[in-house]
Structure 1
Amino acid sequence: MTKKYSRRVFLKGLLSIGIGSLLTTSLGYAYARYIEPRQLQVTTKNMTFANLPKGFDGVKILQFSDIHLGLTYDLSMLSRLVDKINALDPDIVLFTGDLMDIPNQYPYTKLIPPILKRIQAPLGKFAIYGNHDHGGYGTDIYRKAIEDSGFQLLRNETVKVSLIDQSFITISGLDDIMLGQPDYQKTFGTLGKDNFSLAMVHEPDVAKKVAAYNVDLQLSGHTHGGQIQIPFYGPLYTPPYGRKYEEGTFEIGPSKMALYVNRGLGTTRLPFRFLAKPEITLFVLHH
């Protein structure tokens, strides 16, 4: 075991040196700093659920996450993002946390709502807290910004999204795992097995706890897909509670709850993205 572990560490060290060398070259630096962070990828996922009401067949849910305004992501990029979201014509829009990188140091908080308010979603716009939204004394700053943007902020809450025929799905929002006060029972305890339920949880690695309840689909962010990935290895680093499920789609637990981990849009700590393009995800639900 020691020999295998040492070899893994050695190889990781070599790869880290390699990626570091690439980023220090002028071409590599320019790509990771200025080009890839602006290469927005739209990922479309068709997902089928037996308990989805027939009226919701074909409903489109758009997820965006981890903007981190203030480091490399600015308001002009946010405005272009809104245009892109509206062009996809979603029915529901979900934001899974981390709006500003350091909320109490961001000087343009009042300019955010007029931009995000332009997002069109006839069945509702919902948001949750990420760790950066609570950090930097940001709890109230974020709440005001997101609610002034026309989003319903879910903090250990569940809401029904209903159609004219009275059929409905539920959307739940768990408070942030790292810096909030998440309450699983309060959030998910009343969900019924026969009703389609979607959970918004910023950090993905608590998925097994969420799957113990009647949740069909968990949407998370937080990891940024590692921000910097090494070919044939994967993310160089992911944050706490984002190390089991780094990006993409997973099946969790005996219930086979679906988990999707979005790579997010901005950057934090380092202003680079390499092999981890910014992403928004469009889920098309099917009965």
Structure 2
Amino acid sequence: MKKFFIIIGAIILVLFVALVIWGVYCDNTIAITNYSVNNTKNDAKLKFVVITDLHNKEYGEKNADLAELVKEQNPDFIAVCGDMVNRSDPDTTKMKDVLKKLADIAPTYCCLGNHERDNAAEFGTDFKSEIDSTGAVLLDDEYIKFTKNGKSVLIGGMSDYPYYEFYTPEDDVPSRTLWEEFAEKAKDNFTILLHHQPEYIAEDAKKTDIDLIVCGHTHGGQIQLPFIGGVIAPNQGLFPKYDKGEFDLDGTKMIVCAGLSNTVFIPRINNQVEIGVINIS
């Protein structure tokens, strides 16, 4: 009997060590996830890379390895979907270091995440100035026209929820103004909206002609279980509906990127840190 328990204990120990090693790998080895989106509104064809939820982590000195990986994808532009910093940490140096590198590769457009919003409230950080000083562009409840080979798409950045929890649809807030104007433009233009948190936008997106929404925030559900999906995500709780990957919102495609770092000590299991590569054709 004693031998039996020794064997069981050894098996458990081996499985635990293997799980830790797998978690370390998933936390630190960047996967490239490719997506394809059909453009039925014009002939614009382009490719862009999605970066999100870096949380001040570094891949190589000043994120040189991360920037090189992005460069290898040869993107037409780069989308940064928030949480490049950590809340309660006013230092934006790492965010600016990587944004400078990305902006040297291709036009780089950002929206804010909840960690940036919290720091702006706590420390008064001017993220518009901080981000724009790097050569990247913060789309703070605004949009731009991006043109390639004479064909244009609209890229919007929403830095707050369309109707935040304590707002009502009648409140005149910048996010509401952007949301309504962008949705109207989507009737005749191919539109890409950058927005950090998927859970607050999915239902409203079903009522629009917006073509693509790109989000982060969920960290891929932290742990991915086979046939089940993510285990937990901020604001969504256990077994989140929108963990990572593609979601069809009545014709609007939403892509949720698992991001590049964690804010908890629980390792990622079956859920590598990632960048997204999206091809529009």
User: Into which bin does the TM-score normalised by the smaller protein fall?
Assistant: 0.7 to 0.9
1:201-240 map, 5 Å: 201-205=195-199, 206-240=201-235
Q: 1:275 to 1:195 in 2, by over 3 A?
A: same
Indicate the residue corresponding to 1:85 in structure 2.
Answer: 70
Asked if the contact 1:23–1:29 (Cα under 8 Å) also holds between the matched residues in 2, the reply is no
Distance 1:62 1:161 in 2: 15
Indicate the residue corresponding to 1:187 in structure 2.
Answer: 179
Task: Give the TM-score of the pair, scaled to structure 1.
Answer: 0.78
Asked if the contact 1:22–1:29 (Cα under 8 Å) also holds between the matched residues in 2, the reply is no
Secondary structure at the counterpart of residue 68 of structure 1: coil
Indicate the residue corresponding to 2:4 in structure 1.
Answer: none
* Deviation string, structure 1 residues 100-154 (Cα, Å, up to 9, x no partner): 123x4265x3354243212257762100010111124366254444222221111
**Cα RMSD between the aligned structures?**
2.8
Indicate the residue corresponding to 1:173 in structure 2.
Answer: 157
* Deviation string, structure 1 residues 67-109 (Cα, Å, up to 9, x no partner): 111xxx236272211110011110010000100123x4265x3
Q: Which runs of 5+ in 2 are unaligned?
A: 1-11, 167-172
Distance 2:218 2:174 in 1: 19
- Is 1:266 paired with 2:256? no
Q: 1:155 to 1:106 in 2, by over 3 A?
A: closer
- Is 1:68 paired with 2:55? yes
1:12-91 map, 5 Å: 25-32=16-23, 34-52=24-42, 54=43, 56-57=44-45, 59-69=46-56, 73-74=57-58, 76=60, 78-91=63-76
Distance 2:111 2:276 in 1: 16
Q: Which moved more, 1:137-146 or 1:274-283?
A: 137-146
Indicate the residue corresponding to 2:86 in structure 1.
Answer: 101
Q: 1:192 to 1:116 in 2, by over 3 A?
A: closer
Q: 1:158 to 1:116 in 2, by over 3 A?
A: closer
- Percent identity, aligned pairs only, is 24
1:60 Cα offset (Å): 0.7
Task: Give the TM-score of the pair, scaled to structure 2.
Answer: 0.80
Indicate the residue corresponding to 1:156 in structure 2.
Answer: 141
1:242-281 map, 5 Å: 243-253=240-250, 256-281=251-276
Distance 1:240 1:29 in 2: 26
1:162 Cα offset (Å): 2.5
Q: Which moved more, 1:238-247 or 1:115-124?
A: 115-124
Secondary structure at the counterpart of residue 85 of structure 1: helix
Asked if the contact 1:128–1:200 (Cα under 8 Å) also holds between the matched residues in 2, the reply is yes
1:164 Cα offset (Å): 6.0
- Is 1:140 paired with 2:125? yes
Secondary structure at the counterpart of residue 66 of structure 1: coil
1:42 Cα offset (Å): 0.6
Question: Aligned partner of 2:260: which letter?
Answer: L
Secondary structure at the counterpart of residue 135 of structure 2: coil
The match for 1:115 among 81, 98, 101 is 98
Distance 1:68 1:111 in 2: 9
Aligned length: 254
Distance 2:106 2:27 in 1: 30
Secondary structure at the counterpart of residue 117 of structure 1: helix
Secondary structure at the counterpart of residue 21 of structure 2: helix
